[in-house]
């Protein structure tokens, strides 16, 4: 075999490096040219609007709309640009906190907010508001005049500020001045059902959900629960970090779920240690169970043979990451699909329940819960 002279090797190597460098430069020049063309189009459009639009307009709103429109061009309903205010609100929500007075309302037949729940130890509870109270006016303005959605926003407001509510309570109109607070949202509720069946309802997956879930689990186990029912109906998902902490004490050791990113790169996103709860379980699901709620259900199904009871789930098996941008806003972007390590991704399909039970909205009986309880008889 002929030996390659060192000088020849160096020359060939240098040539290859030069070709690689040239290719990189040409690629970067192409990208810069495309970027310049894109911003030139935007600059031309902006200049024309400034010169010709018939009245004054808010340039900040125009810029926010431009950024939202740019992300909307992806055609992905889950990816969006967030204004600084929206980004701050999302961070508060993901932390499992809220700012307001601590009530849950629905719109009644007359168009007014009807209180259906007052959170324990909330400003509303301390002020004396109760379920079934009707909010008539906010800061002296009638809800119907302002509009339902706008009135709800005015009730939320900013931490430390006061909202004045006119409320119809027990047939009388009363005035309440309530100082808004930031407080934890209760995302997990639980109780011991008949026959020592522990029931845990998970409303969403937030930063504080895992600790609330562990408290519920510990309490039910201390009461000697013989079986567990997890309810993720109407749970739209949330943080995977919370999901992993909740699955860990329930499942056997190993990799539970993976995500597939751009270019085919995969990564384990949920794993469990050797500690495992040995109790029969069931999961209640419906058409509004989505995202992390579906992964929670699929993980229990795949690794514990847990039965899913209810109706077909939503089918959201893609993951979003929210990043703070330099302007103080944020970008929520879909970055991966995910699935358990034992089954296919359910995105666009959903999870088929093992026991299909339709819930009659006009019935006072939770037939889906009753069907789940029947599994342990």
Residue given tokens 């993901």 in the structure block: 94
> Read out DSSP for 217-258?
HHHHHHTT-SEEEEE-TT---B-HHHHHHHHTTTS-SEEEEE
Six-digit token pair at 97?
């906190």
- CATH for 188-374 (3.40.50.300, 3.30.70.20, 2.60.40.10, 3.90.226.10): 3.90.226.10
CA–CA dist 207, 64 (Å, integer): 28
CB neighbour list of residue 165: distance below 8 Å, 6 or more residues apart: 129, 135, 137, 138, 155, 175, 176, 177, 178
Does the pLDDT at position 177 exceed 50? Answer: yes
Q: Do domains 98-184 and 188-374 have the same CATH topology?
A: no
Which of 236, 222, 219 has the alpha carbon at shortest distance from 94? 236
pLDDT tens digits for 273-324? 999 999 999 999 999 999 999 999 999 999 999 999 999 999 999 999 999 9
pLDDT tens digits for 1-30? 445 554 554 454 554 455 455 555 555 566
Quote the pTM value: 0.81
Which of 308, 297, 105, 328 has the alpha carbon at shortest distance from 205? 297
- Give mean pLDDT, residues 188-200: 97
Six-digit token pair at 82?
């967030």
CATH number of 98-184: 2.30.42.10
Residue given tokens 């205010």 in the structure block: 85
Going from N- to C-terminal start, the domains of the chain cover 98-184, 188-374
- Give the pLDDT confidence score for residue 12 in this predicted structure: 47
- Give the pLDDT confidence score for residue 239 in this predicted structure: 95
- Give mean pLDDT, residues 75-94: 93
Strand order in the sheet with 188-193: 188-193, 197-202, 227-231, 281-285, 307-310, 355-356
CA 233 to chain centre: 14
């Amino acid at each position: 075999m002929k030996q390659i002279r060192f000088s020849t090797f160096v020359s060939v190597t240098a040539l290859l490096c030069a070709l690689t460098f040239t290719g990189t430069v040409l690629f970067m020049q192409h990208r810069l040219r495309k970027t310049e063309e894109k911003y030139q189009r935007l600059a031309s459009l902006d200049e024309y609007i400034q010169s010709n639009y018939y009245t004054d307009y808010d340039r900040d709103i125009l810029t926010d709309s431009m950024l939202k429109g740019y992300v909307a061009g992806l055609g992905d309903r889950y990816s969006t640009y967030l204004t600084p205010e929206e980004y701050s609100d999302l961070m508060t929500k993901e932390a499992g906190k809220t700012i307001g007075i601590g009530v849950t309302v629905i719109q009644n037949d007359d168009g007014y907010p009807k209180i259906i729940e007052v959170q324990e130890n909330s400003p509303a509870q301390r002020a004396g508001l109760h379920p079934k109270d009707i909010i008539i006016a906010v800061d002296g303005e009638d809800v119907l005049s302002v509009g339902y959605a706008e009135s709800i926003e005015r009730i939320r407001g900013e931490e430390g500020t006061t909202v004045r509510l006119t409320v119809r309570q027990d047939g009388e109109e009363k005035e309440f001045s309530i100082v808004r607070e930031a407080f934890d949202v209760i995302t997990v509720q639980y109780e011991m059902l008949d026959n020592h069946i522990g029931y845990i309802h998970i409303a969403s997956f937030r930063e504080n959900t895992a600790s609330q879930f562990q408290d519920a689990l510990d309490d039910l186990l201390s009461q000697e629960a013989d079986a567990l029912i997890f309810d993720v109906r109407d749970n739209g998902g949330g943080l995977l970090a919370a999901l992993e902490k909740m699955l860990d004490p329930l499942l056997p050791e190993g990799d539970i779920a993976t995500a597939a990113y751009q270019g085919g790169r995969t990564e384990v996103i949920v794993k469990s240690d050797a500690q495992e709860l040995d109790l029969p379980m069931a999961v209640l699901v419906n058409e509004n169970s989505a995202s992390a709620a579906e992964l929670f259900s699929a993980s229990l199904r795949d690794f514990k043979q847990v039965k899913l009871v209810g109706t077909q789930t939503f089918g959201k098996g893609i993951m979003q990451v929210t990043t703070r941008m330099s302007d103080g806003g944020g970008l929520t972007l879909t970055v991966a699909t995910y699935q358990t390590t034992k089954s296919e991704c359910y995105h666009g399909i959903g999870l088929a329940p093992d026991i299909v039970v339709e819930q009659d909205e006009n019935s006072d009986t939770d037939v889906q819960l009753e069907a789940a309880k029947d599994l342990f008889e």
